[in-house]
C-alpha cells in the first residue's frame, strides 16, 4: 500500500491514539508514511496531523473537507457522526470511510434495536424492558431489582447508565432520563467480570483485536459515579484461552450475519461490551466505534500498520488481510481526570510535565486539552491518557504510573488501582 491521505474525524484521546498509530507510532508529523489530517482534533494531535474545523455531525461538511484534501480514507472516531449518518454521506460521495452506516450504527444508538438484533441472532444478553412513562418506573424497579441497571436508550457517551443497589438512586436516574425526553431501559444485572472486545467487521468477515477491560467508576475499588472510563488494560490474563474465539463465534459473527440478513451490513469497528458469567459471554452493550479508553491500550500493541487494516475494512477487502501481528506483553492506559469530573470538570488549568513528555504520544495521549502559549491547559473531563507497556501486566502498570507521577495539573486525580485485581489474581471466570 502506498502513501495515503487520511482524515480522522474526532477530538479526543481515542482520536489521538488513532492518529499516532496511523502515523506508524512515530512521534512527529511527517515521520510516518501517510499524510494525516484531523477534524477538529485537539492540542496534542496538532503535532501529528493538519487540523481542520468541522461540525462532526454535518455529513455535507465532512464530504467537502474530504474532497478538499483528496482523502483516500476517512476514519470516524466518535459515535455522534456515525448515528447522524456521516459515513453514509461519505460513501455516497465515493469516499472510502471506516465507520458503519447510520442504520448499522443503531446497534449503539438504540439499545432497543440492539436487543432486537441479538434476539434474532440468538445472542445472550440481559433481559430488558423499555419504559416511556414515569408511571411505569416503579413496576419496572420491582421486576428488575435488587441490582438495578438503568440506561438511557440513546447515546450518552458511556455515562447514561446507573448500576446500583440503591432503589431511590435508580428511580431518580430513570425519571431524569424520561424528563429529558428519552426512553429508559431497565435490564437484569449480568454477573461476571467485564470484557471489551473490538472487532473489525466487514459484512460477515470478523477480525478481533485484543480483549481489554475498562474501569468505569471514578475512584479506586470501583467506587464513585460511572464515567466514560478511567483506565484500561490489555490483554486479559484471566480470560479463558478460547475466550476471544467464543466471543466472535457466539456474539459478533451472529450479529454481523443478522445485520447482513436485514440488508444493513456492518462495516467498521464493532465493540462488544460483555460480562463473562457462568455460561460464558453475555452482551452488556455494543458500540459502533473504537472504545475510549481501551483503544489507547490496544493500539499500543498493534504491529500491523493500522492504515492498512482500516483501509481494508473500508474497501470491503478485510477477508484478504493477513492475520494481525501484535507485540508480546501488555499495555495499560490510566486517565488523568480534571477536578470535579465527571459531574462538573474544572477547565483552563495549566498542565506541566518533565521535559517533552506532553508531546510524546507513545507515553501521553491528549483527550481534553487546549494550547496556551507553548504549553497546554485542561479543556475537558478526561484530560490525558497515560500509556504504559511491559512484558508483564505489572511492568506495564508500573510504567504508566511512573509517567503519570511526572505530570502536574491542579486538582486532578486518577485511579491508582488500574488492572490491580487482575495482577492480584482476584478475577476468575467460569468456562
Task: Choose the weakest-confidence range: 37-51, 123-137, 230-244, 379-393.
Answer: 123-137
Does residue 330 have a pLDDT over 80? yes
Q: What is the pLDDT of residue 28?
A: 61
Identify the three-state secondary structure at position 427: coil
Instruction: Return the closest-CA partner of residue 329 out of 281, 376, 226, 399.
Output: 399
Mean pLDDT, rounded, for 333-346? 97
CB 227 within 8 A of CB 292: no
Omega before residue 115 within 30° of 0, cis: no
For 330-424, CATH number out of 3.90.600.10, 3.20.20.70, 3.40.50.2300, 3.40.50.300 equals 3.90.600.10
What is the percentage of the chain residues whose pLDDT exceeds 70? 97
Band of the pLDDT at 278, cuts 50, 70, 90?
confident
* Mean pLDDT value of segment 395-409: 98
| pLDDT at residue 180 is higher than 90 | no
> Is the pLDDT at 188 greater than 60, yes or no?
yes
Question: DSSP states of 355-405 as a string?
Answer: TTGGG-TTTEEESSEEEETTEEEE-SSEEEEEEEEESSHHHHHHHHHHHHT
Burial environment of residue 188 by CB neighbours within 10 A (0 to 12, 13 to 18, 19 or more): middle
Residue 55 C-alpha cell reads as 461540525
Does residue 237 have a pLDDT over 90? yes
What backbone torsions phi and psi does residue 289 show, to the nearest 5 degrees?
-160, 175
Between the CA atoms of 16, 21, 23 and 29, what dihedral angle is there, to the nearest 10 degrees? 30
Q: Give the three-state DSSP class for 155.
A: coil
Say what the pLDDT of residue 161 is. 81
Q: Place 409 in a pLDDT band, splitting at 50, 70 and 90.
A: very high
The CATH number fitting domain 194-320, selected from 3.40.50.300, 3.30.470.20, 3.60.20.10, 3.40.1190.20: 3.30.470.20
Are 412 and 334 a contacting pair, CB within 8 Å? no
Beta-sheet strand order (sheet of 97-98): 50-51, 35-40, 5-10, 73-76, 97-98
Q: Is the pLDDT of residue 29 over 60?
A: no
Indicate if the pLDDT at residue 430 is higher than 70. Answer: no
**Which has more pLDDT, 110 or 318?**
318
Domain 5-101 has CATH 2.40.128.130: no
Domain boundaries, the chain: 5-101, 128-187, 194-320, 330-424
Place of cell 455515562: 159
- Asked if residue 235 has a cis previous peptide bond (ω within 30° of 0), the answer is yes
DSSP letter for 204, please. Answer: T
Cα 95 to chain centroid distance, Å, stands at 24
Would you state the pLDDT for residue 210?
98
The model's confidence at residue 82, banded by pLDDT at 50, 70 and 90, is very high
Superfamily of segment(s) 128-187: ATP-grasp fold, A domain (3.30.1490.20)
**Residue that has been written with the C-alpha cell 486525580 in this structure:** 413
Cβ(407)–Cβ(82) below 8 Å: no
For the cut 80, the answer to whether the pLDDT of residue 431 exceeds it is no
pLDDT confidence band for 58 (50 / 70 / 90): very high
Cell 499516532, located at residue: 20
Under the banding of pLDDT at 50, 70 and 90, the label for residue 32 is confident
281, 275 in Cβ contact below 8 A? yes
Show the beta-strand stretches assigned E in 293-378.
330-337, 350-353, 364-366, 369-372, 375-378
User: Does pLDDT of 6 surpass 60?
Assistant: yes
Q: Is 278 helix (H, G, I), strand (E, B) or coil?
A: coil
Q: What is the pLDDT of residues 250-270, one digit of tens each?
A: 999 999 999 999 999 999 999
In the three-class reduction of DSSP (H, G, I as helix; E, B as strand; rest coil), residue 245 is classed as: helix
Question: Are 91 and 101 within 8 A, CB to CB?
Answer: yes
Start-to-end CA distance of the chain, whole Å, equals 41
Rg (CA), the chain: 21
Amino acid at each position: 500500500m502506498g502513501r495515503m491521505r487520511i482524515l480522522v474525524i474526532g477530538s479526543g484521546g481515542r482520536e489521538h491514539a488513532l492518529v499516532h498509530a496511523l502515523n506508524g507510532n512515530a512521534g512527529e508529523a511527517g515521520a510516518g508514511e501517510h499524510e494525516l489530517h484531523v477534524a477538529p482534533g485537539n492540542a496534542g494531535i496538532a503535532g501529528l496531523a493538519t487540523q481542520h474545523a468541522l461540525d462532526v455531525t454535518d455529513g455535507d461538511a465532512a464530504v467537502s473537507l474530504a474532497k478538499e484534501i483528496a482523502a483516500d480514507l476517512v476514519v470516524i472516531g466518535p459515535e455522534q457522526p456515525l448515528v447522524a449518518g456521516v459515513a453514509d454521506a461519505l460513501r455516497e460521495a465515493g469516499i472510502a470511510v471506516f465507520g458503519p452506516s447510520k442504520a448499522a450504527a443503531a446497534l449503539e444508538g438504540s439499545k432497543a434495536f440492539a436487543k432486537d438484533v441479538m434476539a434474532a441472532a440468538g445472542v445472550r444478553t440481559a433481559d430488558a424492558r423499555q419504559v416511556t412513562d414515569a408511571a411505569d418506573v416503579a413496576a419496572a424497579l420491582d421486576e428488575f431489582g435488587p441490582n438495578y441497571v438503568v440506561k438511557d436508550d440513546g447515546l450518552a457517551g458511556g455515562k447514561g447508565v446507573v448500576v446500583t443497589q440503591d432503589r431511590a438512586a435508580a428511580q431518580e436516574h430513570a425519571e431524569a432520563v424520561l424528563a429529558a425526553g428519552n426512553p429508559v431501559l431497565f435490564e437484569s444485572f449480568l454477573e461476571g467480570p467485564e470484557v471489551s472486545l473490538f472487532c473489525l467487521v466487514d459484512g460477515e468477515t470478523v477480525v478481533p483485536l485484543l480483549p481489554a477491560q475498562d474501569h468505569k467508576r471514578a475512584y479506586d475499588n470501583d467506587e464513585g459515579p460511572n464515567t466514560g472510563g478511567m483506565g484500561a488494560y490489555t490483554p486479559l490474563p484471566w480470560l479463558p484461552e478460547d475466550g476471544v474465539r467464543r466471543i466472535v463465534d457466539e456474539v459478533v459473527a451472529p450479529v454481523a450475519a443478522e445485520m447482513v440478513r436485514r440488508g444493513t451490513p456492518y462495516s467498521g469497528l464493532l465493540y462488544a461490551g460483555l460480562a463473562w458469567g457462568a455460561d460464558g459471554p453475555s452482551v452488556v452493550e455494543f458500540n459502533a466505534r473504537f472504545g475510549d479508553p481501551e483503544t489507547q491500550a490496544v493500539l499500543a500493541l498493534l504491529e500491523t500498520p493500522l492504515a492498512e487494516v482500516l483501509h481494508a475494512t473500508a474497501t470491503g477487502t478485510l477477508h484478504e488481510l493477513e492475520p494481525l501481528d501484535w507485540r508480546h506483553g501488555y499495555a495499560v492506559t490510566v486517565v488523568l481526570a480534571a477536578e470535579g469530573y465527571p459531574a462538573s470538570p474544572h477547565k483552563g488549568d495549566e498542565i506541566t510535565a518533565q521535559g517533552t513528555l506532553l508531546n510524546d504520544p507513545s507515553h501521553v495521549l491528549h483527550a481534553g486539552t487546549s494550547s496556551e502559549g507553548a504549553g497546554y491547559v485542561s479543556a475537558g473531563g478526561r484530560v490525558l491518557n497515560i500509556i504504559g507497556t511491559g512484558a508483564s501486566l505489572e511492568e506495564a502498570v508500573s510504567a504508566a504510573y511512573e509517567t503519570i507521577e511526572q505530570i502536574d495539573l491542579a486538582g486532578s486525580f486518577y485511579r491508582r488501582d488500574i488492572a490491580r485485581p487482575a495482577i492480584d489474581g482476584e478475577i476468575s471466570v467460569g468456562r
